[in-house]
Amino acid sequence: MKSPWLVFAVALVARVLYLAYSLSLRPSLAIKMSYLGYETGNIARSIASGHGFSSPLGIDTGPTAWITPVYPYLLALVFKLFGGFTVQSEVIIKVINSVVSSFAVFPLYAVGRRLFGEGVGIAAAWYWALNYGALYFAIAWVWDTSFSALAMTLLLWMTYVLDDSSSHRNWAIYGGLWALGALINASLLSVFPGWLGYAAYRARARGASWMRLSALTLAVFAAGISPWMLRNELVFHRVMIRSNFGLEFWLGNNPDVPDSWTWWLHPNENGDEREKLSKMGELAYMEEKRHLAIRFIETHPRDFARFCYHRFMHTWTGTTDPIADIWRYLSLPVKAVIGHSVLYSLLALIGLFFVRRAEPVKSFPLVFMMLVFPMVYYITHTTLRYRHPIDPAMCLLAVCAVALPLRAWMKRSAAEKWRSLPAAGDLTPKA
């Protein structure tokens, strides 16, 4: 039970069984766009058919920077080998997602063991292995979600490895991992400055050449992302990692938003918006949407604050509605999902408090991640899928919410029992 390889095996079996179950529920095996990734799937089909990294909406809109390249190219390879939008391709890519999701148990176990010992590390790994969100997002979505969770957890582990390492090799690997993470999911970069700053601070505290080591990390990172950045500069004449922020910003901040976002206005769902994007071009369309969102926020600050509140609640509970208002209308499975989501988030936040008390300095990467990573989704729009990259770390924090107080209580009990024992002199027989 204490072997991370056993945890990995159980995690993978659980995900494959869940995949088989989800396929068995379909009335037919007809492939739908939702099964193979919307924009990701369309870009992958374009790559596989020889038209390059383009056309995220399934129509010819030319080159794109809608998302970063790693996952679309992987999916394109699957399409090339097993056919575009086929059942075989769906099963293969979802098995790959399951393997990647399961591999997150290793860095998660390593972080838990490094900070709080073997027991906490293996408990966190088991929680991730059987966590419903981890199973669901590996299977339900053909997207970079599971890859992002693994990348974030690897980066967290490497941040702690640099705590006591001045090896140029390790700091170079750190930069390479950040480049790979950015090319999987650019939102991971939100925690890069804080985590690199923490590593530099720890290096400086132990007298290492923190400036040289940090510069090495940044140089390797820049080298890693430069081909993608150069491609975007040549194609779009603009330095950028992704192009779609303006649309996502507007979808969550416009006059038609009820409480979180207007999914029906997304070009994937709305023919008028799709045609508009096709005519204007990707960058011009995104820029217009960004300006519209800013104008709306400037003229409707109270609505913006209300939307941010709903998105905050959605991030941590899985619903934008007050749970007390909707609970009686929900089915039992939905109640179970929302109930677990709320409990999971509460335990993670409680665990963060105990981790902060136990390790005031070493807790910084976890605190920074929990505070900073979701912020972009508070101002745009969100789902539990967007939060998924930090879910493995939340499993660790949830375990800490139970393990750290229990450990402290056991230590106090042992100390009190020891103090209650009679002193050695009291055991000497009296004359």
Three-class secondary structure assignment of the chain:
CCCHHHHHHHHHHHHHHHHHHHHHCCCCCCCCHHHHCHHHHHHHHHHHCCCCCECCCCCCCCECCCCCCHHHHHHHHHHHHHCCCCHHHHHHHHHHHHHHHHHCHHHHHHHHHHHHCHHHHHHHHHHHHHCHHHHHHHHHCCCCHHHHHHHHHHHHHHHHHHHHCCCHHHHHHHHHHHHHHHHHCHHHHHHHHHHHHHHHHHHHHCCCCHHHHHHHHHHHHHHHHHHHHHHHHHHHCCCCCCCCHHHHHHHCCCCCCCCCCCHHHCCCCCHHHHHHHHHHCHHHHHHHHHHHHHHHHHHCHHHHHHHHHHHHHHHHHCCCCCHHHHHHHCCHHHHHHHHHHHHHHHHHHHHHHHHHHHCCCCCHHHHHHHHHCCHHHHHCCCCHHHHHHHHHHHHHHHHHHHHHHHHHHHHHHHHHHHHHCCCHHHHCCCC
Chain mean position to CA 262? 23
Is the model's pLDDT at 427 over the cut of 70? no
Is the model's pLDDT at 430 over the cut of 70? no
What's the rounded Cα separation, in Å, for the pair 150 and 188? 11
Q: Within a domain: residue 424?
A: no
Contact 131, 393 (CB under 8 A): no
- pLDDT value at position 401? 97
Side chain identity, residue 70: V
The mean pLDDT of 414-425, rounded to a whole number, is 66
- pLDDT value at position 319? 85
Give the least confident one: 93-107, 237-251, 307-321.
307-321
- pLDDT value at position 413? 77
Q: For the chain, what is the domain count? A: 1
- pLDDT value at position 30? 53
At residue 180 the predicted structure's pLDDT band, cuts being 50, 70 and 90, is very high
Q: Within a domain: residue 369?
A: yes
Of 170, 184, 255, 245, the closest CA to residue 214 belongs to 170
Calculate the CA dihedral of residues 287, 291, 297, 300 and round it to 10 degrees: -130
Q: Within a domain: residue 418?
A: no
Is the model's pLDDT at 410 over the cut of 60? yes
Residue 402 contacts by C-beta under 8 Å, 6 or more apart in sequence? 347, 351
pLDDT single digits (tens) 317-348: 988 777 777 777 778 877 888 888 899 999 99
The whole-chain average pLDDT of the chain stands at 92
Chain mean position to CA 153? 9
At residue 423 the predicted structure's pLDDT band, cuts being 50, 70 and 90, is low
The mean pLDDT of 67-96, rounded to a whole number, is 94
Q: Within a domain: residue 426?
A: no
Q: How many CB atoms lie within 10 A of CB 291?
A: 13
pLDDT single digits (tens) 102-149: 999 999 999 999 999 999 999 999 999 999 999 999 998 899 999 999
27-31, 356-360, 422-426: range with highest mean pLDDT? 356-360
Q: Which two tokens stand for residue 351?
A: 């665990």
- pLDDT value at position 302? 97
pLDDT single digits (tens) 293-320: 999 999 999 999 999 999 999 999 988 7
pLDDT single digits (tens) 142-173: 999 999 999 999 999 999 999 999 999 999 99
What's the rounded Cα separation, in Å, for the pair 79 and 97? 15
Q: Which two tokens stand for residue 367?
A: 């605190």
Q: Within a domain: residue 107?
A: yes
What's the rounded Cα separation, in Å, for the pair 31 and 94? 13
Is the model's pLDDT at 34 over the cut of 80? no
pLDDT single digits (tens) 195-222: 999 999 999 999 999 999 999 999 999 9
Contact 56, 43 (CB under 8 A): yes
**Choice between 426 and 314, residue whose per-residue pLDDT is larger:** 314
The mean pLDDT of 281-285, rounded to a whole number, is 96
Q: Within a domain: residue 422?
A: no
What phi and psi values does residue 245 have, to the nearest 5 degrees? -60, -40
- pLDDT value at position 408? 85
- pLDDT value at position 371? 97
Q: Within a domain: residue 413?
A: no
What's the rounded Cα separation, in Å, for the pair 102 and 129? 7
Residue numbers of the domain that contains 351: 4-405
At residue 32 the predicted structure's pLDDT band, cuts being 50, 70 and 90, is low
Of 277, 232, 229, the closest CA to residue 251 belongs to 277
Q: Within a domain: residue 174?
A: yes
**Choice between 27 and 165, residue whose per-residue pLDDT is larger:** 165
- pLDDT value at position 415? 72
At residue 251's C-alpha, the angle toward residues 245 and 256, to 5°, is 160
